[in-house]
Chain A
Amino acid sequence: MVHQMASPLDVDRVRKDFPILERRLAGDRPLAYLDSANTSQKPRPVLDTIAEHYERHNANVARAVHQLGEEATAAYEGARDKIAAFIGAPSRDEVVFAKNASEALNLVAHTLASGLAEDPWYRLGPGDEIVITEMEHHSNIVPWQLVAQRTGATLRWFGLTDDGRLDLSTIDDVINARTKVVSFVHQSNIVGTINPVSRLVERAHDVGALVVVDGSQAVPHMPVDVTEAGADLYVFTGHKMCGPTGIGVLWGRREVLDALPPFLGGGEMIETVAMEGSTFAPVPHKFEAGTPPIAQAVGLGAAVDYLSGLGMDKVHEHERNITAYALERLRDVDGVTIIGPDTSTDRGGTVSFTVDRVHPHDVGQLLDEDGVAVRVGHHCARPVCLRYGIPATTRASFYLYTTSAEIDALIDGIERVKRFFW
């Protein structure tokens, strides 16, 4: 099927920036990489920046007085500036580097549970309620379950509607005067739903609760302004947005970050240390114990430059077009059921589906033989699979380099799966 699609991006040119997309797989198969929600591929400028950092500027940060140390520190802190600008953070000091989004979420959960905050409001305890949703990634479920166990706080959650949206019909009951924290995903990593952030923020703030948003699947794909979103804390990860692995970001309102006690203890997070006790550095360094992921932060800075150069609005529009095309084609395949929203309204380019009478692992394996890389399983969001009564899904996820030809390869692959197993 030939499909002409107008894209706001010059996708052919974009693809030339990603060396891996030229790879031939075993058996000389071309690669159709439809697994960017898992991790994105990396463009040449990011790869070059990381290599150049190690080749020319490598030193530890914030402690060396020599030239390389100053260069490395400038590069690391420069990356913080770039990321602050990218997400509209009012201050660079509100941008904390973590190793990934999971660590950033654990930082928030752990510090609220530790009981070490000076202000008792920031100490969770019995009677307090934490609200999450059934569509969270495990990294926004398990830390809160552990927190509830430790503190005696109660964990509550929003369920899902049949079409893959949050069921907010009971919002005034679920988020109530006892609610201390509301933590939810901006865009689902399994069904692609984009959640109504402002509605949740409004209700949470009405009852004085803290809002944490997991933007791991949002920041890579759409323009995100953290002040516009209105959350108190917002986390995301670098490797899904053209950056390297090993680097994540926690943005928080200064007042909130100041109120939270330290997370990990160690070098660089202190002000003074004596055997009797220690005082701590101001944010962001209070939360950055030990040698940070320096080259990774610098690489993420380059990724942000790359995305900004293309324009996040254009990236978003391209993905909307691709997603609409993928949904249209998938809806026409006999035996395929889309799990989650099957229209492109308020949804991103992550599409989960099942194929009748074929297990997702078998779907994924056969697609791989066609060079089509998808993810199969529960996608670290097992409650979603339980909600829809399925063991797993096949998930195709798109990004700025995805072409309609790759969607066609996916559809052809599914037809072959059916011929093989039916």
Chain B
Amino acid sequence: MSESLYQEIILDHYKNPNGRGLREPFDAESHHTNPTCGDEITVRVTLDGSTVADVSYDGQGCSISQASASVLHELLTGSDVQQAFDVEAAFVELMQGRGEVEPDEDILGDGVAFAGVARYPARVKCALLSWMAFKDAAARAVAGGEAHR
């Protein structure tokens, strides 16, 4: 049964995370915590025009929250900002779908492995932690860029 929650892809990302570590320079940073379990993550977003040039992150927490950040980095780095927000929305929809949402691998890539997590309400917040931090940081990076124009 564990296989439905802990997909091999999730364990791979947890054991060998992509893009982990906070990098300079960056345009905006967001620190999110899950007060019920103490998981935390810091996400930095660097923009190059309308492209997400880098998403760097560091944090501590369970395999679900940390693997999710690794997948986020992999999916969103190099993509157009609007496209990144679309992927973020699709991931949130999947996680809030109570296991009823069929994920689109073209959009979510390795993120589809989290489909099983959506059936565990206590763990959904773990999976969403880095994505909420990204959304926050990216919105501020975009706003900051516009203010400077």
Chain A contacts to B: CB under 8 angstroms = 27, 358-362, 365-366, 369, 376-378, 382, 385, 391-392, 420-421
Question: Closest CB of chain B to A417's CB: distance in Å?
Answer: 10
Question: Closest CB of chain A to B39's CB: distance in Å?
Answer: 7
Q: How far is the CA of A397 from the CA of B5 in the complex (A)?
A: 26
B contact residues, total (Cβ < 8 Å)? 18
The residues of B that contact A27 with a CB separation of less than 8 Å are: 1
Q: Which residue, of B37, B38, B39, has the highest number of chain A Cβ atoms within 10 A?
A: B38
User: Is A392 a contact partner of B63 (Cβ separation < 8 A)?
Assistant: no
User: Is B38 a contact partner of A382 (Cβ separation < 8 A)?
Assistant: yes
> Could you list 24 examples of A-B contacts with CB < 8 Å?
A358-B63, A359-B61, A360-B37, A360-B62, A361-B37, A361-B61, A361-B64, A361-B126, A362-B6, A362-B62, A365-B2, A366-B2, A369-B1, A369-B2, A376-B37, A377-B36, A377-B37, A377-B38, A385-B38, A391-B38, A391-B60, A391-B61, A420-B6, A421-B11
Question: Closest CB of chain B to A309's CB: distance in Å?
Answer: 37
User: Is B2 a contact partner of A420 (Cβ separation < 8 A)?
Assistant: yes
Q: Is the interface of B mostly helix, strand, loop or mixed?
A: mixed
The residues of B that contact A392 with a CB separation of less than 8 Å are: 37-38
User: Is A361 a contact partner of B2 (Cβ separation < 8 A)?
Assistant: no
Query: What residue in chain A is nearest B60 (Cβ atoms)?
Result: A391
Question: Closest CB of chain B to A416's CB: distance in Å?
Answer: 9
Q: How far is the CA of A378 from the CA of B36 in the complex (A)?
A: 8
User: Is A421 a contact partner of B37 (Cβ separation < 8 A)?
Assistant: no
Chain B contacts to A: CB under 8 angstroms = 1-2, 5-6, 11, 36-40, 60-64, 120, 123, 126
Question: Closest CB of chain B to A408's CB: distance in Å?
Answer: 20
The residues of B that contact A360 with a CB separation of less than 8 Å are: 37, 62
The residues of A that contact B120 with a CB separation of less than 8 Å are: 365
Question: Closest CB of chain B to A420's CB: distance in Å?
Answer: 7
The residues of B that contact A385 with a CB separation of less than 8 Å are: 38
Q: How far is the CA of A313 from the CA of B36 in the complex (A)?
A: 35
Q: How far is the CA of A362 from the CA of B37 in the complex (A)?
A: 11
Question: Closest CB of chain A to B59's CB: distance in Å?
Answer: 10
The residues of B that contact A359 with a CB separation of less than 8 Å are: 61-63
Question: Closest CB of chain A to B42's CB: distance in Å?
Answer: 14
The residues of B that contact A376 with a CB separation of less than 8 Å are: 37
Q: How far is the CA of A350 from the CA of B39 in the complex (A)?
A: 23
Query: What residue in chain B is nearest A392 (Cβ atoms)?
Result: B38
In the complex where A392-B37, A392-B38 touch, is A361 in contact with B62 (Cβ < 8 A)? yes
Q: How far is the CA of A362 from the CA of B15 in the complex (A)?
A: 13
Question: Closest CB of chain B to A421's CB: distance in Å?
Answer: 7
Query: What residue in chain B is nearest A378 (Cβ atoms)?
Result: B38
Q: Which of A365, A378, A382, A420 contacts B123 (CB 8 A)?
A: A365
User: Is B61 a contact partner of A365 (Cβ separation < 8 A)?
Assistant: no
Q: How far is the CA of A420 from the CA of B123 in the complex (A)?
A: 18
Q: How far is the CA of A393 from the CA of B36 in the complex (A)?
A: 13
Q: How far is the CA of A385 from the CA of B35 in the complex (A)?
A: 13
The residues of A that contact B1 with a CB separation of less than 8 Å are: 27, 369
Question: Closest CB of chain A to B20's CB: distance in Å?
Answer: 15
The residues of A that contact B2 with a CB separation of less than 8 Å are: 365-366, 369, 420
User: Is B6 a contact partner of A361 (Cβ separation < 8 A)?
Assistant: no
Q: How far is the CA of A421 from the CA of B60 in the complex (A)?
A: 16
Question: Closest CB of chain B to A137's CB: distance in Å?
Answer: 15
Q: How far is the CA of A360 from the CA of B126 in the complex (A)?
A: 13
Question: Closest CB of chain A to B14's CB: distance in Å?
Answer: 8
In the complex where A369-B1, A382-B38, A391-B38 touch, is A361 in contact with B60 (Cβ < 8 A)? no
Q: How far is the CA of A376 from the CA of B61 in the complex (A)?
A: 12
Q: How far is the CA of A382 from the CA of B38 in the complex (A)?
A: 9
The residues of B that contact A421 with a CB separation of less than 8 Å are: 11, 63
Q: How far is the CA of A288 from the CA of B37 in the complex (A)?
A: 34
Q: How far is the CA of A290 from the CA of B48 in the complex (A)?
A: 62
Question: Closest CB of chain A to B83's CB: distance in Å?
Answer: 31
Q: Which residue, of A359, A369, A421, has the highest number of chain B Cβ atoms within 10 A?
A: A359
The residues of A that contact B63 with a CB separation of less than 8 Å are: 358-359, 362, 421
Q: How far is the CA of A377 from the CA of B37 in the complex (A)?
A: 5
